[in-house]
Amino acid sequence: MSGGTDSSVAAILLKEQNHQLEGITFRAYDSISKGCMEKETGCCSADAIFEAKKLAESLGFHHNILDIRNDFENTVIKDFIEKYLSGVTPNPCVLCNKEIKWGRLIEECDKLGCDYLATGHYAQIINENNRYFLRKGVDETKDQTYFLWRLSQENLARTIFPLGKLTKSQVRDIARIHGYEKIANKRESQEICFITDDDYKNFLREKIPDIDKNIGKGNFVDINGKVLGEHKGYPYYTVGQRKGLEIAMGYPVYVLDIDSESNVITLGKREDLLSNELWIGDINLMKYDNIDKMTGLTCKIRYNNKGESCTVYQYGDELKVCFDNPVSAVTPGQSAVIYEKNDVVGGGIILKKS
């Protein structure tokens, strides 16, 4: 329970269905925003925890606060920093879902004697042919299966998504009907919950005070290796980036490649970003236990990507994705999620291949 609209309505619906509930809210990090007045912000703030507790009390079930700040720091935030320092772009929500939200919550479920874990995610869980897998939520504008591809068969078998067949507007209406007007009108949470000012560069500087001194400035080069100018340090850039490069070429240029060892960033035109294929590692298969070769699939390489038609080949613990049409800005470190229509076949982390 984050104190937000979605998890609150999930609790309301489960209570109506006569489930016996235990509420859990994470204290994952100290979310202090900087400014003339310091105030905690985000889903882990004291206000958010209090609102989750208040809702649980109003619905008549016990609420638990779980302090996981050390675990969160040593997994999600540590990985976030390490990925940027290695020259790739992380997706912390995906790791958090596996290691924290399900890793720690399943443990807590066992301690509390709970059979199932329920969250406010917009996704559906299907059980067919002795396999559990995700299906997109009915509200495709809110579908969150992209962030959930790492969940195991055991995770899915013990999970309930009460909002999977609802739209966001229906969820807000449910909160209003039950008299929770404030909950109904809550704003959407930000994408990276621990980056309170939406500037990951500042976050890296706070966590690694000597990052600029140790890494320093480096060269922008073109695809032929010609030096074009100077950048502020490779961790502050991502493949596909156009804005904020602070270099004038007379035409738009984009980040094509990041070399963390040499601190060199390659720039090029939009068409230079196009790729016909990608490789993904750290894979987790859902709908099938093996792919071998599958056609007629789609692959999402970022959350707001509609998905591109492709053929997928499995080579051991890696997948090769061949697109029917070239795709733009394949970004190492990000997730690639494979779909068969609305069903999640599996996913993995985009690898940097030479």
DSSP 273: G
Residues 231 and 277 in one domain: no
Residues 172 and 312 in one domain: no
Decide if pLDDT at 197 tops 90. no
Residues 66 and 172 in one domain: yes
Per the domain annotation, does 332 fall within a domain? yes
pLDDT tier, 190 (very low <50, low <70, confident <90, very high otherwise): low
Q: What is the mean pLDDT of residues 295-317?
A: 96
Residues 311 and 338 in one domain: yes
- Give me the catalytic one of 43, 114, 193, 310: 193
Residues 177 and 297 in one domain: no
Residues 242 and 256 in one domain: yes
CATH number of residue 12's parent domain: 3.40.50.620
Q: pLDDT of 14-73, one tens digit each?
A: 999 999 999 999 998 876 444 333 444 455 678 889 999 999 999 999 999 999 999 999
Q: Answer yes or no: are the C-beta atoms of 350 and 304 closer than 8 Å.
A: no
- Give me the catalytic one of 43, 96, 109, 114: 96
Residues 246 and 178 in one domain: no
Residues 41 and 166 in one domain: yes
Per the domain annotation, does 176 fall within a domain? yes
Task: Please provide the DSSP assignment of 122-138 as one string.
Answer: SEEEEEETTEEEEEE-S
CATH number of residue 260's parent domain: 2.30.30.280
Q: Answer yes or no: are the C-beta atoms of 49 and 10 closer than 8 Å.
A: no
Rounded Cα–Cα distance for residues 26 and 35 (Å): 25
pTM: 0.93
Q: Answer yes or no: are the C-beta atoms of 12 and 174 closer than 8 Å.
A: yes
Q: For residue 287, how many C-alpha atoms fall within 13 Å in the half-sphere facing its CB?
A: 20
Total domains in the fold of the chain: 3
What six digits make up the tokens of 159?
Answer: 């999970």
100-to-62, 108, 188, 302 alpha-carbon distances in Å: 21, 11, 21, 21
Is 43 catalytic? The answer is no
Q: Answer yes or no: are the C-beta atoms of 228 and 247 closer than 8 Å.
A: yes
Residues 278 and 263 in one domain: no
Choosing from 226, 245, 268, the residue where a domain stops is 268
Per the domain annotation, does 192 fall within a domain? no
Q: Residue 43, exposed/middle/buried by CB under 10 A (0-12, 13-18, 19+)?
A: buried
Rounded Cα–Cα distance for residues 282 and 269 (Å): 31
Rounded Cα–Cα distance for residues 268 and 252 (Å): 8
Residues 54 and 68 in one domain: yes
Strands 274-285 and 343-350: antiparallel
Rounded Cα–Cα distance for residues 167 and 76 (Å): 29
Per the domain annotation, does 156 fall within a domain? no
Per the domain annotation, does 138 fall within a domain? no
Residues 173 and 304 in one domain: no
Residues 255 and 278 in one domain: no
Q: For residue 216, how many C-alpha atoms fall within 13 Å in the half-sphere facing its CB?
A: 6
Q: pLDDT of 96-136, one tens digit each?
A: 999 999 999 999 999 999 999 999 999 999 999 999 999 99
Q: pLDDT of 225-276, one tens digit each?
A: 999 999 999 999 999 999 999 999 999 999 999 999 999 999 999 999 999 9
Contacts of 93 (CB under 8 A, 6+ apart): 147, 191, 192
Per the domain annotation, does 208 fall within a domain? no
Question: At 8, which helix (H) or strand (E)?
Answer: helix 5-16
Is 193 catalytic? The answer is yes
Per the domain annotation, does 261 fall within a domain? yes
Residue 254 is part of which domain span? 216-268
